[in-house]
Amino acid sequence: MRMVRFGKTGLMVSEVAFGGIPIMRRSKEDAVKVIRGAIDLGVNFIDTAHGYADSEEKIGAAIQGYPREKLVIASKSPASDKKGFLEQLETTLKRLGTDYVDIYQHHGVSTKEKRDAIFGPDGAHEGMKEGVADGRIRHPAFSSHNIPIAMEIMETGYFEAVQIPFNFVDDTAAEEIIPLAKKLDMGFISMKPMGGGLLDNAETSFRYLMQFDSIVPDPGIEKLEEIEQIVRLYENRRALTDDDRAAIQRLKDELGTSWCHRCDYCQPCPQGIRISTILVAKGSVKRMTKERAMAMLGPAIEKSKDCAECRDCVSRCPYNLDIPELLKVHQQKYEGFVSTGVWA
Ligand code: SF4
Ligand code: SF4
């Protein structure tokens, strides 16, 4: 794989990363084989998170025996407070079997409330600075689903990398965030390059992303053949053709009325319904075990039955999604998933 400079971190990373969510679905032995297979293909950049069940432990087991300095390991803490952040950092290091993490991210800074808690007194950011000062964190970073909040945090100048959803449907980052990351010389990780499991066509998805030379896509990988296919695409890179562009437009048109960008502009819902969690459920069930998906989605789906159809959320959704209708569709699909294990 081609190696690229990852912004001002100065790290040289493979032009595609290994996303560590779907290995939650594999046994430890199988996950280790998949991760090692990816490393042997030249993928040196592995991204996980404290919250991805046993993903950190599986990665920790897989990287033993490889020269640590050849690998770039990224993880994340969802904590808002300093104490929680430092505890999670320690757990991350223990699970990964390493004494430093190359890139550590505040995970999912997507709401003003979370941003204010992280950067407030005794907030997680104090923990981030402590971890950087003592060398346990080499490069501070954050992830977000909210473009304005992400841009504000980027402009503080503190962070060396950022992770934002970016694929041919969720393409808003192309306009401002990617140019800003370039200007600030920050590494840019493209979260959900295949829509977090919602896009099926790897070729179209990655051909689109290849147009952007300064980004590193982070596809979630469950099977070795998935990363093999992506590596092959990068090794045979070519510009988008008119047919590719037509396919992208067709898919965007098809998905446009139901695709949730997880921006949460529709919140707050007076009934406390976690709208985006439900609308991206298809992707979640693809990446998680059935038990974990049910634990996450079950209460949210149950709550969504309280929808009063006030349509406040619809008026705030920039994509004009018919949220009350989509909630009903997802309630039905969820029932099917619970009885058959398949999201149809
Ligand atoms: S329509 Fe339903 S989901 Fe939307 S804000 Fe009203 S109660 Fe919440
Ligand atoms: S429903 Fe609309 S506003 Fe809410 S998260 Fe999805 S895309 Fe954003």
29-62 per-position pLDDT tens digit: 999 999 999 999 999 999 999 999 999 999 999 9
279 and 239 part of one domain:
no
Domain containing 14: what range?
A: 3-245
Q: Is the minimum distance from the CB of 263 to ligand 2 under 6 angstroms?
A: yes
* Residue 258 placed within a domain: no
- Specify the ligand 1 atom closest to the Cα of 275: 3
Query: Any residues with CB less than 8 A from the CB of 182 and at least 6 apart, and which?
Result: 188, 214
167 and 228 part of one domain:
yes
CATH of the domain at 198: 3.20.20.100
* Residue 157 placed within a domain: yes
* Residue 99 placed within a domain: yes
Closest Cα to atom 3 of ligand 1: 307
240 and 280 part of one domain:
no
Tell me the pTM.
Answer: 0.89
Q: Is the minimum distance from the CB of 266 to ligand 2 under 6 angstroms?
A: yes
285 and 222 part of one domain:
no
Backbone angles phi, psi at 188, to 5 degrees: -120, 120
Tokens of 230: 């992506």
What's the total number of domains in the chain? 2
Residue 2 has pLDDT above 90, yes or no: yes
Q: How many A from CA of 273 to the centre of ligand 1?
A: 7
Q: Is the minimum distance from the CB of 111 to ligand 2 under 6 angstroms?
A: no
* Residue 253 placed within a domain: no
Q: What does DSSP say about strands 187-191 and 101-106: parallel, antiparallel, or unpaired?
A: unpaired
Confidence band, pLDDT 50/70/90 cuts, at residue 143: very high
Percent of the chain with pLDDT over 90: 87
Counting ligands in written order, the one closest to the CA of 276 is: 2
Q: What's the mean pLDDT when you consider all of the chain? A: 95
Residue 66 has pLDDT above 90, yes or no: yes
135 and 53 part of one domain:
yes
- pLDDT tens digits for range 74-128: 999 999 999 999 999 999 999 999 999 999 999 999 999 999 999 999 999 999 9
pLDDT attached to residue 256: 78
236 and 281 part of one domain:
no
311 and 188 part of one domain:
no
Mutate to test the pocket of ligand 1, among 276, 278, 302, 307 (most ligand atoms within 8 A of CB): 307
Mutate to test the pocket of ligand 2, among 317, 320, 322, 325 (most ligand atoms within 8 A of CB): 317
- Specify the ligand 1 atom closest to the Cα of 311: 1
